[in-house]
Structure formats: structure tokens, C-alpha cells
Amino acid sequence: MKKAIALLSGGIDSPVAIALLQKKLEIIAIHFHQMPLTDEQEIEKVKRLQKQLQVNKLYLVPFTPVLKELVSKCEHRYYFILSKIAMLKAAEMIAEKEGAEFLITGENLSQVSSQTLSNLVSITTPIKKVILRPLLTYDKIEIIKHAEKIGTFEISKGPEVCCLLGPQKPATRSDPEKMQKELERIECMLLLEESLKNAEVIIL
């Protein structure tokens, strides 16, 4: 069975995306946490999702240093786009290590600002691996129903932590070349390598 690296945020969408593809791919999950800006509850929530989904391997990656660099050195309205690109680049690095061919996200077209068609193009362009987005055309009600069916909704519901450092008015349109120039303002690959060095791996 081919392998994929799935971004597991702790929200409602990403566990459903994993569940939809579990019969077709061997899935390894990766969660980018924001401790010490958050507390242990963020980690515990993701571990509960791992158990509920029966994902054998989970990477817990400290990402606060990367996110702080994005806030301090890049145009803030692009924060959600740039942070997603950084996460996918880190997931690609794990994919190389694990021999995985695909990345999986719970992105859903136009559900939130970073997921407009324009921004999804900007997020996808710098990534070499194929990104699978099984929820791309789902509406929120469909996703919630599926989350209830697989037993992840009660774990996932509640405030999202991904918005802690985000702008009040995020960009709904972007250009891939502009995003590349923004990322060049930080030592992106060095920061990602450092975060992955400090990752904790949870095996069920």
C-alpha cells in the first residue's frame, strides 16, 4: 500500500480527510503544535484523534518558532497562506524520510480565507508532492455528519488554535511569486529542519 503524510490540525476537517483515504493509503499523521502559546490540551486532543482514527504513527512538530518568524518578517495578511506552505514543505521532508508519495489536507474550497481558489494555487505551487484534498468540494454540514459517523466530532469541536497569531483581515487573493518572495524573508528551510529535529513521534 502506498504511503501518505496527512496534516492533522485537531479541527473537524482533517480527521475526516484521513478517514476517507485510510482504506486506500497507509497514512502517517503530522501535527504542527503551538506550544508554549498553547498548553498540553492541544497535544492531548490530537493524540485522542490519532487513537480514534487508528493512525499508527504521528509526528508532533513544534512550530511556534516558524510562525513567529512569519509574523515578524512577512506581510501579516498572508500569514495563513505562508504558514500552510511551510507546513506542507515540512510534511514533504517527512514524506521523503518515510517514503511517502502523497500529502493529505482537510482543505475545503472557500470555506475559510486561505482556501479560496487563488490561495490554494499559491499554496500548491511550491510543493512537489501530490496533495490530496478529499474534502475540497464538501460543505460543512457534510463534513460534520461524517465526523459524527467516525467518532471524531466530539473530540474536534471547540475553538481552533490555528488562528492564535493570524491577522484580523487575511488575504483572500494571492500570487505564487509574491508568496515565494515573502518566504525568502525568513530562513524557511533551516527553521523547518530545526522544528523536525525536535519533533516527537507517537506510535500506537
Position 161 scores a pLDDT of 62
Report, as an integer, the average pLDDT of 108-112: 77
Whether the bond into 36 is cis, omega within 30 of 0: yes
What share of the chain has pLDDT > 90, as a percent? 84
Q: Which three cell numbers stand for residue 204?
A: 500506537
Q: Rounded CA gap, 42 and 174, in Å?
A: 30
Position 166 scores a pLDDT of 80
142 pLDDT above the threshold of 90: yes
The count of residues in the chain is: 204
194 pLDDT above the threshold of 80: yes
- The confidence band for 157, taking pLDDT boundaries of 50, 70 and 90, is confident
For all residues of the chain together, what is the average pLDDT?
94
What share of the chain has pLDDT > 70, as a percent? 96
Q: Which three cell numbers stand for residue 11?
A: 479541527
For the chain, domains (ranges, CATH) are 3-203 (3.40.50.620)
Residue 183: left if φ>0, alpha if ψ -120 to 50, beta else—which one? alpha
Give the predicted TM-score (pTM) of the model: 0.95
pLDDT 10s digits, 54-90: 999 999 999 999 999 999 999 999 999 999 999 999 9
Under 8 Å between Cβ of 24 and 3: no
